[in-house]
Amino acid sequence: MEYTQLGRTGLKVSRLCLGTMNFGPKTTEEDSFAIMDKAHDLGINFFDTANTYGWKIGEGWTEQIIGRWFAQGGRRREKTVLATKVYGKMGEWPNHSRLSALNIRQSVEGSLKRLQTDHIDLYQMHHIDRNTPFEEIWQAMEALVQQGKILYVGSSNFAGWHIAKANEIAKARHFMGLVSEQPLYNLKVRTAEMDVLPACRDYGLGVIPWSPLASGLLAGTRGKEQAGRRGEEGVSKEMEKYAEQIRQYEEFCHEMGEIPANVALAWLLSNPVVTAPIVGPRKMEQLTESLRAVEIKFSEEQRKRLDEIWPGPKGESPEAFAW
């Protein structure tokens, strides 16, 4: 396994991040334990979760599974760079979601209890909260850092200008601010190239793409098997809609002698701004197969071919849409 810095921090993380969204709803606790143990065996030290994963409001099912895995000992927690998230609905009362200082405080306490740990390495805002000023958010996050309950703060699903605004306000407060962004980014969905990736590069944020296989579509004909919670319902229609592109893509991968899922991951890894794509296996073989992606390299001709099959926005803003 290869390792890299998480953005401008001194923190070293594996080039693949273990996504745990399927743990509980799709993967049994026993199998989840085995996958996490295997991840460590393979050198993967970066695990991503969220307080809402498990999809039972208020239970934090997935975090509980990870917590029970940590509780087995064997330095499991010490070997793991642990990332979780705050924002989603964790109860029926008005302040049980989003990014108010109150919800941030009560959410971190809930995550720490479920995860059976005394700190979270990377605490991520799962979405932008347009009703809460960043001054309030940073005041709450600063307190958690001072208390030793979190070490770094990240974002997910932020626009480029959100990243800029958040970090400028943090800078004015003499606080480190965002160190990572977790965007939707893959060969099929490349809008992040316009503003999000340039903002991350400029502000020194690590990029942790979610849905690197486009809900299984970029796994080719195995896409239905690879589809996670987000893609299960619509993957068949998507595969019909993009049938010709998928055919060309599978042909390209066959010529390379690589499976489509690994080519999709390798393409993300070839971008210098990307830290670690999130791989969210439901089965052990999906995890072990993904390690090959770290070794795949592309020629300039191959990169151009991928751009032809899965065209991006033709550059960064404003050149992507203006002269």
Which element (helix H / strand E) includes 166?
Answer: helix 160-172
Nearest Cα to Cα of residue 17 among 274, 229, 284: 274
Give the Cα separation of 211 and 117 in Å (integer).
Answer: 27
Strands 278-279 and 17-19: parallel
Nearest Cα to Cα of residue 293 among 31, 34, 42: 42
Give the Cα separation of 129 and 235 in Å (integer).
Answer: 29
Q: Return all residues near 133 (Cβ < 8 A) that are at least 6 apart.
A: none
Catalytic residue among 53, 203, 242, 249: 53
Give the Cα separation of 245 and 237 in Å (integer).
Answer: 14
Phi, psi (degrees; rounded to nearest 5) at 309: -75, -45
Q: Please spell the DSSP secondary structure of 86-137, one letter per residue.
A: E-S--SSSTTSSSS-HHHHHHHHHHHHHHHT-S-EEEEEESS--TTS-HHHH
Residue reference for tokens 């010709």: 244
Any catalytic annotation for residue 249?
Answer: no
- Residues recognised as catalytic: 53
